[in-house]
Each structure stands twice: as C-alpha cells, then as structure tokens.
A = this chain, B = another copy of it.
Amino acid sequence: MQIEVKPYRLCVKGFSRRDEPWVGTLLTLSNGRIAVRGELELEPFDTGTLHAGYYLDVPLWRRELAQLPRINGVYVLCSGEPARPEKVERELDLREGLLRVRASLSCTAGNLRYTSTSAAHRRLKSLYMQRVELEGCSGELLVTLPIELASNPFVAGASVRHFDIAGFKFDGAWLSVLLEPKRGGKPIALTSFLRSTGCSELIPVSSAGALGFLVTGCSSRVTLERYTFVGETPQREEPLWDSLLRSHKAAWRELWEKIGLEVEGEDRIAGAITFYTYHLLQLIDEDSDSLMIPSRGLHGFGYRGHIFWDTDLYLALFLSALYPEAAKKVLKFRCKTLEAARAYAAQSGHKGARYPWESVDSGFEATPRHGLLLKENSCQCVDILTGEKEIHITADVAFAVDLYYKLTGDTHFMAECGLHILVESARFWASRVAWDPGKSAYVIRDVIGPDEYHVGVDNNYFTNVMAKLNLERAAHYVEEALSSKSSLLRAVAENLGVTRQEVEKWKEIAGRIFEGRREGLVVEQFEGYFDLEEGQLNSSYAPVRVPVEELEKLSQLKVIKQADVVLALLIQDLVSGVPKEVLEANYRYYLPRTTHESSLSLPIYAAVAISLKDENAGGLFSKVLDTDLGNLYGNTDDGFHVGAAGGLWYAILYGLLGLRLSHEELRFKPSCVDGIRRLSVNISYRGARLKVDLRCDGEPLLHKSFLT
C-alpha cells in the first residue's frame, strides 16, 4: 500500500486489511453534517457513517457519537463467486471533494473493471452519493448495495451497538429505514434511492443486519447510482447525478476560493498542507447554526466523539482568520451550552460558568471518570482526573471568543453571547483562584495543564496565563461595553449584573496572578517543576509513547507530554507580544524535555521554531505533516487529528506569515521553511479579505493586497 500526496490530491495505491483502518480515516468524506469513512467499499468493514451532533448514552463513556450504518458497501458476485478487488487505486480529489476508486475485480469467469465516484454532498447536507461503473463481466453479475447495521468499531477494547431497525419500507427504487437507539434517544431515518443502467432488475433484500437492493439481469456494462439521505430527505424527487455533482463541485470551488489557499514547493509538503486543510473544511456544516467538532473530527470514534479544547484553542486561529463564519458556529456551541457550564460551575462550588473538559451535545461533563486497563490476566480501573482538574478549557473558550472578535469585530456576536461567555468565565476564575499571602499573589491550585504527566499541580503556567488573559479580556470588553454608545452591549453587561467593582476585582486578580519562578528567562511550568529530576529522553522530536505503567514515574521527572509553557508564550506573543529572547529560551529549554505524546505538541514547537528561524524548524514542520498522513501516533485509525491540523495553521499563520494581533491591528513578520516556495491565503479581517502571499525564493517576501 502506497500513499502519495500532491497539492489537492491524495492517492492510495493497493489495499491491505491491516492498513485499511488508517486509510479509512484519510479517505473519509464529510460535509460537516454527515461523514462516511473511507474503508474500501468493495470489502466488508465494521465502520459506518457518522452524523455531527448525534450522541447517544452508553456505559462508562457516558455519551458517545453514534455509529450509523455503513451506506457505501458494494458487494459484487460474478457467477456466484465474490469478485476480489485487485490493483486498487483510490484518489481523494481535495479540490472537488470527491473520492474516486478504480479496481480490477478478479473472478474465475474473468476480470471486471470497477470505478466509482463518491461525495458527501457539500450543499445537500444529508446526502451521500455514489456512482459505480462495472464493465466486462462475462459471467452472471450480481451486485448488492446494502445499508448495513454494522457493530460499532472497537475503540479502547469495547464496543456498543447503538441501534435496532424499528421499521423499513421498499418502494420501487426507494428504501427507507428507521433506526431506534437501543438505550433511548431520538430515532433516525435513512432513505436511499438506487438507479441502475444496464441491469434489468432491482430486488429488495433484507436480513438482520443489511437492508438494500440487489441488482441483477445485468449487461456487460453497468452504471449504478446510489443516493443515501441520512437524517432527513429533502425531497422525494428522483435525484439526478449530473446536477447534484455540479452543485457539489461548485460549493467546494467557492469554499477554496474563499480560503484562497495556494501553495507551491515540494509536493509532499505543499500537498500535505492542502490535505489537512481539506479535512478541516470537511468539518464545517454551512447550514448548521452551531458546530460540534469532536477532537477526531467526524472521521472516527477516538475519544468517543467528545469535544475538547482542540476546537476552541487549536482550531480558533485557522477558523477566525480564514473562515470566521465557521469560527462563530464553533463558538455558538459554547453559547448553547453556557447554561450547562453555569450549572457545572455551581456544582463544583464556583461562580460563573465552567466548561467541561470533554463535551457532548448536552454540554455536561462527559470525561469518563474511569479508564479500564484490560490485559491478559489483569483488570484495572484507572481514575481519570482530567475532567476534574484540566480546567484551562474555560479560559481556552474565552480566548477563542476574544480571538474571533479581534479578527472580526463582530459586535453582534459579542452582544448575543460572546460577552456572556467572557463574563461568566471570568467569574469562574475569580472564584477559582485563591489568595496566597506568602506569595502575595493569586494562585490556582490542584490542576492539570496541557502536560498531563503532572497531575494536580499548583500554578500551572499555562492555566494561570490563560486565566489572566480571560480576566483581562473580560474586564476590557465589559469596560468598553459599559462606556459604549452601543446601548446593546451596555445592556448586555448590565443584564449580566457586572459592576465596575467586579471588573476592578478581575483586573486586580489578573494583575497579581502568580506566574511562577524563573531560571534566567525560563519560566517554571508549575510550582516545583524546577526541583524535579531530569528524565532520560531521546533528544529528537519523534513522539514517544509512554506505557501506562510508567506514567506514575514520569510525574517525578521534568519530562513533559506537550507544549505547555511554550504554548502559553505563543498565545501571549500572538495577542500581545513576548520578547524574542524569552520565547527562544523557553523553546530551547522545553523542547528536549517534551515527548510529544500528544499530537498537539509538535505544531506549537514548529510554529515557534519557524518564527524563531530555528534550525529545527524544517524538521519539526515536516513531522507535523506526518501526523495523519504518516500515522505518526499509530492511532489515525480512530479519526483525524483535528487539533494537530489546527496547530499546523498556527505554524503557517503565526510561524510562516508571522501573523500578530497586538495593538488592535494585523501585523506580519514572515519566515520560511524548507519545502515551501510560495504560500498564499486569504485572511478575513473585520469584514475585509486580505490576500497574503508569501514567497520564499530567498529571504521571505510577503505581499498583501485587499480583495474586493
């Protein structure tokens, strides 16, 4: 099996069952509403279809993204014999959002040529469409195209099947199926239409796990078009391939034109940038008011489809700068769950709103309380403390609101909800900090920072800095609102009951929050970190996988999981500037101490390295591009690494273009990196679009122009 990436094109040659779960993620088709995994349609697989925001209750993981039936399987029999796919070639057309499959199907009676084209329709969000051509069958050809109630894929050793078939009906070439969740929840309907050319008969087929059509009486050249609507059927007119394909392509064209991404250089690098960007764009549902983007996208079941800080912090810059309408939809999810966040804060004895570390549709904490370690002869329930202690998420959401506003100036959103989030999150921090008389500072005790190796630490630098930013920005916006001529924002602030006194308290806390010790310019990640022992770590930046048994030991060492202090500095540098020497000193100190076990680490170090023009920049950047394309963490099977792809855009926007947002304006200080000759992208800024064009023939050269 061979994977090749070029700008706007991913090619996979060959097929092996072993690699297919990984390839299935790379070739996933989605339109932000529905997603169909890319495992080869000609072979049986357990993985199926996902629908954004459709969560169901389960044991242990509380609530998870439901797996809907597989809707793209094509099972070909030639004279009673399964036709075996050979010479499989698949191409994901990133520009048009199409998956093309070519294969030779081998049978005793001879070979067939198989080609197919599939799309998750970019406009008709409930539609997955697939067109199959079969040619050259000399025996009797039978094709089954079912809707398959597969069992859920195994993630973390366990699997739960979500549905029973509550009812179905064949009506000519239409099939409708109603699925009933096994453990409560809204039913969901699937409807499919099949058109065959070159075959005389469509026969309905039903069994416990498969419902669909069998196509028979075929000539030697057959075309099959299948249209499957998931969740809603916009009409019952017979769908037409050509016009639907046209509108799908037009939608993708518009999307790419909006982003304006052009990248020249080594195919491997330029291609990868288009690949990760494509998968991010696939997660945006233009028709939805709010977006729930799981940390592994709609590409798989990693983390059971839960939503982490990835979208708020990692994806925020890409979306706010390139696609602010989508950034707003992501924030809208946090708006919708603000009530739940208020309840969570109250429940944990705090004020304001506290966002859960892992969210699902309901907005309640979905972090499992326990993990299960099952081995040959042992069983261990491991406490999972991130839900309780990884509280920086609340500040990350506030940061995303601030970033969105900085780039859009969207006062309407601020009035509708942005200010609510900022105020309520600030209130959370104001009630969560404690005054330490010894330090004469406000402290935040017993947390987990981004570096999850060190659990229950005091004054994690990242957490404290993000809380400080949160308090400062909330104070800033409230002060603006209260003194604003816009009666709308003022009314909101007043409705939230914020007083100038409360704002002064926020500013006082922000000003006196504990920011840790220093060794020269190096910031201490948390209290006591400098006193830990050094760990033995290979100095390269290849990610290290730490066995669960050794995690305990790591907590006694300076070894960290991912960018923590460096991420905090990058964020501060982005929004308000940090002296280069500080950034550099911390980058040099923490990089060799980081395992990068989280995919969120390398992109941040790469962004800083590029910005610092460090010699490791090229290597780090190149490694980031391996995240999914090279299955760098061995778990791309479970879905796309959304946070890492968002992080890649920190490397591009903050690193390569040198985007800075301080002083209420956009500034750029470009850098280059090996393998990229030119990179051009449209940045949205306060209603305008700025085409930013970086050239790297020698010294970085940046050209900016406003688009009309």
Is A379 an interface residue when CB atoms closer than 8 A count as contact?
Answer: yes
Q: A45-B208, A75-B206 are in contact. Are A369 and B374 (CB under 8 A)?
A: no
Select A208's contact among B70, B170, B171, B203, beta carbons within 8 Å: B70
Select A77's contact among B44, B204, B208, B369, beta carbons within 8 Å: B204
**Stretch in A209-217, A434-442, A620-628 with 4+ CB within 8 Å of B:** A209-217
B369-A170 in contact (CB<8A): no
A214 contacts which chain B residues (CB < 8 A)?
203, 205, 214
Q: A45-B208, A379-B369 are in contact. Are A374 and B170 (CB under 8 A)?
A: no
A158 contacts which chain B residues (CB < 8 A)?
158
CB 8 Å contact bits of A128-167 with B (1 = contact, 0 = none): 0000000000000010101011110000011101001101
Is A377 an interface residue when CB atoms closer than 8 A count as contact?
Answer: yes
Is A168 an interface residue when CB atoms closer than 8 A count as contact?
Answer: yes
**Most chain B beta carbons < 10 A, residue from A165, A208, A369, A374:** A208
A81 contacts which chain B residues (CB < 8 A)?
169-170
Q: A59-B157, A372-B372, A379-B370 are in contact. Are A208 and B210 (CB under 8 A)?
A: yes
- The quantity of this chain's copies bound in the complex is 2
Is A82 an interface residue when CB atoms closer than 8 A count as contact?
Answer: yes
A169 contacts which chain B residues (CB < 8 A)?
80-82
A150 contacts which chain B residues (CB < 8 A)?
208-209
B208-A44 in contact (CB<8A): yes
**Considering the chains assembled together, what is the distance between the CA atoms of A167 and B43 in angstroms?**
12
Report the minimal beta-carbon distance from A413 to chain B, rounded to whole angstroms. Answer: 36
CB-based nearest B residue for A145: B207
Select A378's contact among B73, B370, B375, B379, beta carbons within 8 Å: B370
CB 8 Å contact bits of A57-87 with B (1 = contact, 0 = none): 0011010000000100101010011100000
Is A539 an interface residue when CB atoms closer than 8 A count as contact?
Answer: no
A210 contacts which chain B residues (CB < 8 A)?
207-210
Chain A: interface secondary structure? Answer: strand
A82 contacts which chain B residues (CB < 8 A)?
167-169, 206
Instruction: Give the total of A residues in contact with B, Cβ under 8 Å.
Output: 54
Is A200 an interface residue when CB atoms closer than 8 A count as contact?
Answer: no
Report the minimal beta-carbon distance from A64 to chain B, rounded to whole angstroms. Answer: 14
A157 contacts which chain B residues (CB < 8 A)?
59
Report the minimal beta-carbon distance from A76 to chain B, rounded to whole angstroms. Answer: 8
Report the minimal beta-carbon distance from A393 to chain B, rounded to whole angstroms. Answer: 20
Report the minimal beta-carbon distance from A495 to chain B, rounded to whole angstroms. Answer: 35
CB-based nearest B residue for A147: B207
Is A707 an interface residue when CB atoms closer than 8 A count as contact?
Answer: no
A75 contacts which chain B residues (CB < 8 A)?
206-208
A165 contacts which chain B residues (CB < 8 A)?
44
Is A240 an interface residue when CB atoms closer than 8 A count as contact?
Answer: no
Is A380 an interface residue when CB atoms closer than 8 A count as contact?
Answer: yes
CB-based nearest B residue for A143: B206
**Considering the chains assembled together, what is the distance between the CA atoms of A81 and B376 in angstroms?**
47
Is A548 an interface residue when CB atoms closer than 8 A count as contact?
Answer: no
15 A-B residue pairs with CB within 8 Å: A44-B207, A59-B376, A62-B377, A77-B204, A77-B206, A142-B203, A142-B204, A144-B205, A151-B151, A158-B158, A203-B203, A207-B207, A209-B210, A369-B379, A370-B379
Where the two chains meet, the residues of A that have a C-beta atom closer than 8 Å to any C-beta of B are: 44-46, 59-60, 62, 70, 73, 75, 77, 80-82, 142, 144, 146, 148-151, 157-159, 161, 164-165, 167-172, 203-210, 212, 214, 216, 369-370, 372, 374-381
Instruction: List 11 additional contacts besides A148-B207, A205-B205, A205-B207; criterion CB under 8 Å.
Output: A46-B161, A46-B208, A60-B379, A77-B170, A144-B205, A150-B209, A151-B161, A208-B210, A210-B210, A372-B379, A379-B381
